[in-house]
Copies of this chain bind each other. A is one copy, B any other.
Amino acid sequence: NYTKLDKLIIGVCGGDGIGPMITGMAQHALEALLADKVKAGKVEFRVIDGLTIERRAELGCAIPPDVMEELKQCHVILKGPTTTPRKGDPWPNVESANVAMRKALDLFANVRPVKVPELGIDWTFYRENTEGGYAVGSQGVQIADDLFIDFTVATSQGCERIARLAFDYARKTGKNRVSCVTKANIIKTTDGKFLDTCQRVAKEYPEVEFDDWYIDIMTAKLLDEKRRRDFKVVVLPNLYGDIITDEAAEIQGGVGTAGSANIGKRYAMFEAIHGSAPRMVQEGRAQYADPSSVLRASVMLLEHIGEIELANKLDRALDICMFEEKKVVVNGRDTGATAQEFTDYVLETIAKL
């Protein structure tokens, strides 16, 4: 319970590319919303530099030790996108900082809401965040000359804690429907375990409807105008969660519009679901990057620290800007509004609520 803390420390970790700028916007919005508590010394924002691809490459690690140290002193973290090297990039092959942070802080639940009011869409994805194809990192094996193997991992404990979180949320919010997505007809052992576990947990929540889908058909169902409104809370293994939330975010208006909460027992980290967009920076267009992803992540951060009323206000203002007035959200692309102008307009909208 964060409200009982003497001082709540919010770490702001900018990351790469457009990251520092958009997290700066989110910090700006949060500081405005939490101004009283900041003034009273009850909330502190702590900017954490040094989670950059240059330093990570230099040190050859996913997260520099000093950054990790600082992260662990925060209660919650707001994080910008970080660059994961691709083949052909100038950097050596360091691991994804997102994935490393999720594992190091045991952030087992990746919660990704997507909504499009005019289409009747209001989805919350509960992506398992530490197992599946992500558990073993790059430790696949080569056997003999020409056999390459990767591993997918599941544990009952891992499946159960994400399932419970999804069902608790479905019950608490009255959404009352959980859909489980796997490929248990093929990936039988691990996805089978995931599905079994969800089915078992479902029995403890008789008021919550439960159904299950295969990941292939689920990507089609998200586009089915008649059926997709039925989905409410969706729980899925790591990789399927990764895949399907990008599709869902695109339906909402683009991956640039979706925020994500990475929740563990002790820590919580809030981030955009998109990448660091180095090209925008190179082309000098960084100030037009869409901050709505980190602002949505900030809604979840506020909720998480118990500031429900502020969370609702920020969420409502974003809805107004993105779905009702519409003209501002498509910032940069169509209206020429900068991230700063957009963020200020969101704050003005809150003031008028």
A interface vs B, CB < 8 Å? 84, 86-87, 96, 99, 133-134, 137-138, 140-142, 146-157, 183-193, 195-196, 199, 215-217, 219-224, 239, 242-247, 249-251, 254-255, 275
Given contacts A146-B155, A146-B157, 10 further A-B contacts (CB under 8 A): A133-B187, A140-B192, A148-B192, A149-B152, A150-B151, A151-B151, A220-B249, A221-B250, A223-B223, A243-B243
Contact between chains at A155 and B147 (CB < 8 Å): yes
Contact between chains at B157 and A148 (CB < 8 Å): no
A278 to chain B, nearest CB (A): 14
Bound CA–CA A191/B190 (angstroms): 19
- Residues of B near A216 (CB, < 8 A) are 242-243, 245-246
Contact between chains at B154 and A99 (CB < 8 Å): no
Contact between chains at B140 and A149 (CB < 8 Å): no
- Residues of B near A149 (CB, < 8 A) are 151-153, 189-190
- Residues of B near A193 (CB, < 8 A) are 148
Contact between chains at B151 and A239 (CB < 8 Å): no
Contact between chains at A183 and B133 (CB < 8 Å): yes
Interface centre among A134, A186, A215, A255 (most CB of B within 10 A): A186
Number of copies of chain A assembled together: 2
Q: Which of B152, B157, B255 contacts A217 (CB 8 A)?
A: B255
Bound CA–CA A246/B222 (angstroms): 11
- Residues of B near A250 (CB, < 8 A) are 219-221, 223-224
- Residues of B near A192 (CB, < 8 A) are 140, 148
Q: Which of B99, B137, B150, B221 contacts A190 (CB 8 A)?
A: B150
Counting from the closest, the 9 A-B pairs by CB-CB distance are A140-B189, A220-B250, A219-B247, A138-B188, A216-B246, A150-B152, A220-B246, A223-B250, A148-B154
A-B contact list, 28 entries, CB within 8 Å: A84-B185, A86-B185, A87-B199, A96-B186, A99-B186, A133-B187, A134-B186, A138-B189, A140-B187, A140-B188, A142-B189, A146-B157, A147-B153, A148-B153, A148-B155, A148-B192, A149-B189, A150-B190, A187-B239, A215-B242, A219-B219, A219-B244, A219-B246, A220-B250, A220-B254, A220-B255, A222-B247, A247-B247
Contact between chains at B190 and A140 (CB < 8 Å): yes
Which residue of chain B lies nearest to A86 when distances are taken between CB atoms in the complex?
B185
Bound CA–CA A221/B152 (angstroms): 26
A171 to chain B, nearest CB (A): 23
Which residue of chain B lies nearest to A239 when distances are taken between CB atoms in the complex?
B183
Bound CA–CA A151/B243 (angstroms): 19
Q: Which of B156, B219, B249 contacts A243 (CB 8 A)?
A: B219
